């Protein structure tokens, strides 16, 4: 699952960095007659920063879910062991 999340985020960041999304940055800097290469670099840096933020959020969410799943698994194992021990004790008591 971790790989799928990061793949999806990477595809999203790739989409943000495509030339089709850069004209938004050009429009913002057009009035200042900014150098197009600087504008493009700034747009790519902004997309990369947004991507890193999304990765951090996704990693945090994944870690939270993974931790909860580990706790649920440990609880289920403990319950299964307790049930097994009760069954063994019951069988031994019948002799």
pLDDT of 12-28, one tens digit each? 555 555 555 555 555 55
Mean residue pLDDT across the chain: 79
Q: How sure is the predictor about 95, in pLDDT bands with cuts at 50, 70 and 90?
A: confident
Domain range for 49 is 2-94
Q: How many domains does the chain have?
A: 1
pLDDT tens-digit readout, 34-54: 678 888 999 999 999 999 999
Q: Which of 76, 95, 73, 74 is nearest to 84 (CA)?
A: 76
**Distance between CA 17 and CA 11 in Å, rounded?**
10
> Could you tell me if residue 35 is left (phi over 0), alpha (psi between -120 and 50 degrees) or otherwise beta?
beta
């Amino acid at each position: 699952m971790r790989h799928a999340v990061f793949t999806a985020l990477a595809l999203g960041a790739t989409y943000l960095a495509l030339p089709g999304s850069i004209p938004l940055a050009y429009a913002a800097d057009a009035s200042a007659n900014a150098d197009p290469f600087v504008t493009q670099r700034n747009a790519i840096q902004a997309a990369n920063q947004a991507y890193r933020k999304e990765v951090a959020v996704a990693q945090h969410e994944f870690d939270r879910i993974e931790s909860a799943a580990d706790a649920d698994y440990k609880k289920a194992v403990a319950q299964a062991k307790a049930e097994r021990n009760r069954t063994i004790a019951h069988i031994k008591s019948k002799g």
